[in-house]
Structures are given as structure tokens and as C-alpha cells.
Amino acid sequence: MSFTALIPMRGGSKSIPNKNIKLFGGKPLCAWVLDAVKNSKFIDEIYVSSDSNRILEIVEKINKKVNLLKRSPSLAKDKTSTEEVMLDFASKFNFDNLVTLQVTSPFTTSKDIDNAIKSFKQEGMDSLFTSVRIKRFFWGDNMKPLNYNPRKRLMRQDFKGTLMENGAFYITNRNVLSKYKCRLAGKIGSYEMPMINSMELDEIEDWKAMSKLIKKTR
């Protein structure tokens, strides 16, 4: 059972210009995830998909063993889904399982990737998402509770909480991806990560706070 890593890196970023290659914690943002994948025990091949020549050039400088894929502009639009990129990749390359990682989750480590793959194999999963456990009470806009009963409010230590996708990475079996055209289908599992991994780099405010934090943790 092989595991192939795919790291999508679109050139256009409206919230933070050149986000994927902007210096973060002393090196390009993409370098953190690239290093984590490189040091994984179970990743067989690494591919970076981008419509930007500049991004591909920087990725090659960081790790010359990464396979570089020039993405079509039609797959680099604001509304292009990750599934579209994954399916395009599947139409061109053979793999057993695809590990799709997000550059905007720089706290991801090789240990996270390896432990998730171990769980994927041991539990016979078809797909997996990474998550953090949130111990908060949620309500819908209709003012109905989503994950607890207000009349039987639990103490924090007795409250199991709710799993939240953190988008760090996903593992998808090729057959499931081809059949359902979705990253999550079949027997779905989750790999829980520390709360620090709930943060994603989407806005400039995130950048300032997280760049200080990563120097203390990595």
C-alpha cells in the first residue's frame, strides 16, 4: 500500500499576496509542509501542483526531489475545488492512496503524517481527515443547540466535545476518489491533532500571530 503526497499551491492569493512563498518563521511558508512530508517514513512520492512558475522554482530550491506539476489556468481559479485538482492528478498518475496537504497548516509535522497513515492502515479506512477536538457548545442560526442539551449541561471534564476538520491534510484511497469524486467517502476516519493545529493562515492577522508561535514550537 503506497502513499503519494500532493501539495496544491495556487499562485493567486487575494488576502495575502504570494502567500505560499512568503517568508514565515524565517523560510517560505511552503517549506514547513514540504519538510514534514520529506521526513515522513511512509510517503513514497511528493508532487507539488501550481500554476505559478515562481512557486515551482522556489519549491525546487527547497527540495529537488519533489515532482513539479504545472497546473492549467483552468484549475487555478478562485472557485476551483481541491477535488478538481485531485481528480486531475488521478487522471495522470498512478497511486494507491493520496495524501493531500495544505500549505496553510504549517504546524503539521512528519509525526502527524506518519501516525495518521498508521491509523489509516490499521483501521482499514478508505479516507481520513485531520481534526481538532473543540469543547465548546454550538448553536444554529435557528437558536437550536447543535451538540448538547442545555437542560443537561455537562461539566467540561465530562464533555466529549466535537471534532472539527482543520484542513491540515486528507488521505484518500484512489478507488474512493474515482468513484465518489470526493476526498472523503467510504469508511471515513479522523486523526486528531493538538489544538495549535486548529489555526490556518488565511488572513494577515493570522500571519503575525502564528509566525511568532512557530518559532517557539518548531
Residue range 155-172, pLDDT digits in tens: 877 888 899 999 999 999
The whole-number pLDDT of residue 202 equals 76
CATH architecture of residue range(s) 3-134+164-217: Alpha-Beta Complex (3.90)
Res. 14: pLDDT tops 80: no
The pLDDT of residue 196 is 84
- State pLDDT tens for residues 34-92: 999 999 999 999 999 999 999 999 999 999 899 999 999 888 888 899 999 999 999 99
**What's the whole-number mean pLDDT along residues 94-120?**
96
Q: Between 29-38 and 53-62, two packed helices, what is the crossing angle to 10 degrees?
A: 50
> N- to C-terminal Cα distance for the chain?
30
Going by C-alpha positions, the residue among 174, 215, 217, 169 that lies closest to residue 40 is 169
Q: Which of 10, 71, 136, 153 is catalytic?
A: 153
Quote the pLDDT of residue 56: 96
pLDDT at res. 44: 96
pLDDT tens digits for 136-159?
899 999 999 999 899 998 887 788
Q: Is 153 a known active-site residue?
A: yes
Give the mean pLDDT of the chain.
Answer: 92
pLDDT at 211: 83
Amino acid, res. 76: A
pLDDT band for position 132 (cuts 50, 70, 90): very high
Q: What are phi and psi of 31, to 5 degrees?
A: -65, -30
Q: In the chain, pLDDT over 90 holds for what percent of residues?
A: 72
- Cβ neighbours of residue 201 closer than 8 Å, sequence gap 6 or more: 16, 19, 24, 29, 104, 105, 106, 207, 210
